[in-house]
Amino acid sequence: MMQFIVPQFIDVEDKIIGPISVRQFITFLAGGAIIFIDYQLFYKTNFWLFALTGIILFAITGLFAFLKVNGRPFHYFLLNIFNTFKDPRFRVWNKMSAKETKVRKEKIKPQEFIPTKKPLTASKLTQISLIVDTGGAYHEEDNEALTTESYNREQKL
């Protein structure tokens, strides 16, 4: 029997520089490029405007690189928000907490409904067997007088 190696820890990103993963490193490179463009645009005209926008851009870059929402990177969270705003038809909202839901389910017990069937009579069983025997050719309305015995006699002829 062949043995296969099962990959483990597939949700852990590869680290390249200390605790920084490839995704975080590329995010900081992109943020650095945007801050450099900001430097080229605002440094010569107004240093304080460059410093303010640079700090804001650095904070946003750090947010995208390190923040995780529900165990997933922040950019997935933003994509989900944009998709929700774009197509808001699917919404799930549970007003009660999990404990309240369990308590409410325990309190509300459905009434037991026991279905009652009418017992089959001999004539009804005869009609059903004729329908099965004839492959559906027998119809109750047309052949009121036909019984199993008469059907069997006709088959022997």
Whether 126 and 86 share a structural domain: no
Residues 17 and 93: their CA atoms lie apart, in Å, by 41
In this structure, is residue 54 part of a structural domain?
yes
In this structure, is residue 111 part of a structural domain?
no
Q: How far apart are the first and last CA of the chain?
A: 65
Residues 63 and 116: their CA atoms lie apart, in Å, by 64
- Choose between 73 and 120: higher pLDDT: 73
Check: pTM over 0.75? Answer yes or no: no
- Count of beta carbons in the 10 Å neighbourhood of residue 104: 10
In this structure, is residue 7 part of a structural domain?
no
In this structure, is residue 52 part of a structural domain?
yes
> Count of domains in the chain?
2
Q: Which of 15-19, 28-32, 120-124, 147-151 bottoms out in mean pLDDT, i.e. has the lowest?
A: 147-151
Domain stops at, among 68, 90, 112: 90
Mean pLDDT of 114-135: 76
In this structure, is residue 41 part of a structural domain?
yes
In this structure, is residue 58 part of a structural domain?
yes
Which residue segment(s) compose the domain that 67 sits in? 15-90
In this structure, is residue 105 part of a structural domain?
no
Mean pLDDT of 25-34: 95
Confidence band for 53, pLDDT divided at 50, 70 and 90: very high
pLDDT tens, position by position, 84-120: 888 777 666 666 665 565 555 566 666 777 777 776 6
Q: Which of 30-34, 63-67, 81-85, 144-148 bottoms out in mean pLDDT, i.e. has the lowest?
A: 144-148
Whether 34 and 81 share a structural domain: yes
Whether 74 and 134 share a structural domain: no
In this structure, is residue 84 part of a structural domain?
yes
